[in-house]
């Protein structure tokens, strides 16, 4: 997949990974929650926090190609650019695909915008009218993007890595993002970190990983929405040289608060919380 372009040697490309959000699918404020984090966001829009998503672009060139990872319900606030060249969809969950609907005739009415996703997600889209409508009207053009596939873009390439997501009963796609100098591994939503995940984390210079909960006893229904707790992940990745950031944070996760003891502990042990507005040059 992709097209290799021979650019002049005098033009040095770097990929910028721009962080558009860091929350799990419910965002902040979270519907039905009256905790101080959510209430603060209701009182002050500046305290709102967007659902996890990243944008890939080449250097700071205004004419750069731009690729979005995750089309979230917050997409109208997250995307500040006039156009998007393509969207990568890891699975059909609430926070990952619903934003595609904003590209239809009620929005910019895009023409053949590339959507890169697995055969499983494409099948889901073909069977559900909101997405099938986008396909039939040529707003989007689905590109098969399965395990091992790689898409070249200016500044680097994006590789699909599939992992089973038992909670959703299907695979989810992680992304190994190859820059000119470094690799960034993005796996923001998964049930657990197995040995295959560990291998990919070790391969990367930077890893952005699922940090939905701090601990298993954080909510009363953890078994319904299982994710690898950060407290356990700290021990699992303690001897890794990779720079590790946690994202996809639930509103109940204490690391959402800048001054929490848990965030301080995380920092002390060499890990970081991904915050919206950050960017990485790879």
Query: According to the model, what pLDDT value does residue 10 have?
Result: 44
Query: According to the model, what pLDDT value does residue 12 have?
Result: 56
Phi, psi (rounded to 5 degrees) for 151: -115, 125
| Total residue count of the chain as it appears in this document | 282
Quote the DSSP letter at residue 168. Answer: T
Query: According to the model, what pLDDT value does residue 265 have?
Result: 97
- Using CA atoms, how far apart are residues 26 and 45, in angstroms rounded to an integer? 16
Tokens 């770097």, residue located? 14
- Using CA atoms, how far apart are residues 44 and 91, in angstroms rounded to an integer? 32
- State the angle between helix axes of 119-127 and 129-136 in degrees (0 to 180), rounded to the nearest 10: 100
- Using CA atoms, how far apart are residues 271 and 9, in angstroms rounded to an integer? 37
Where helices occur in 155-271 by DSSP H, the ranges are: 195-203, 230-236, 261-268
Domains recognised in the chain with CATH numbers? 15-281 (3.60.15.10)
Side by side, which strands form the sheet with 140-144? 140-144, 113-117, 86-88, 66-69, 53-58, 15-21, 279-281
Quote the DSSP letter at residue 52. Answer: P
Query: According to the model, what pLDDT value does residue 169 have?
Result: 62
Query: According to the model, what pLDDT value does residue 271 have?
Result: 98
> pLDDT (tens digit, 0 to 9) for every residue of the chain, 282 residues total?
444 444 444 445 689 999 999 999 999 999 999 999 999 999 999 999 999 999 999 876 677 889 999 999 999 999 999 899 999 999 999 999 999 999 999 999 999 999 999 999 999 999 999 999 999 999 999 999 999 999 998 789 999 999 987 766 678 999 999 998 899 999 999 999 999 999 999 999 999 999 999 999 998 888 888 999 999 999 999 999 999 999 999 999 999 999 999 999 999 999 999 999 999 999
CA 130-134-136 angle, 5° bins = 110
pTM to 2 decimal places: 0.93
In the structure, how many helices (H) and strands (E) does the chain have? 8, 14
In the three-class reduction of DSSP (H, G, I as helix; E, B as strand; rest coil), residue 26 is classed as coil
């Amino acid at each position: 997949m992709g097209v290799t372009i021979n650019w002049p040697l005098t033009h040095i490309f770097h990929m910028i990974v721009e962080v558009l959000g860091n929350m799990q699918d419910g965002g902040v404020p979270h519907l039905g929650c009256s905790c101080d984090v959510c209430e603060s966001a209701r009182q002050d829009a500046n305290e709102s926090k967007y659902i996890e998503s990243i944008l890939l672009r080449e250097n700071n060139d205004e004419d750069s190609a731009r690729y979005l990872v995750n089309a979230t319900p917050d997409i109208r606030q997250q995307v500040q650019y006039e156009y998007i060249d393509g969207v990568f969809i890891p699975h059909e969950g609430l926070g990952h695909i619903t934003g595609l609907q904003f590209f239809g005739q009620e929005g910019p009415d895009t023409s053949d915008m590339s959507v890169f996703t697995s055969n499983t997600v494409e099948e889901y889209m073909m069977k559900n009218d909101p997405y099938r409508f986008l396909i039939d009207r040529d707003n989007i053009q689905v590109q098969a993007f399965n395990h091992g596939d790689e898409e070249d873009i200016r500044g680097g390439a994006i590789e699909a890595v599939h992992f089973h997501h038992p909670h959703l009963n299907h695979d989810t796609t992680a992304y190994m993002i190859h820059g000119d100098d470094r690799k960034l591994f993005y796996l923001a939503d998964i049930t657990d970190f197995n040995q295959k995940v560990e291998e990919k984390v070790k391969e990367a210079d930077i890893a952005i990983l699922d940090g939905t909960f701090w601990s298993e006893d954080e909510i009363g229904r953890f078994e319904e929405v299982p994710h690898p707790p950060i407290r356990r992940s700290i021990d699992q990745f303690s001897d890794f040289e990779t720079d590790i950031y946690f994202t996809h944070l639930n509103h109940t996760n204490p690391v959402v608060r800048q001054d929490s003891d848990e965030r301080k502990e995380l920092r002390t042990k060499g890990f970081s919380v991904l915050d919206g507005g950050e960017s990485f040059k790879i």
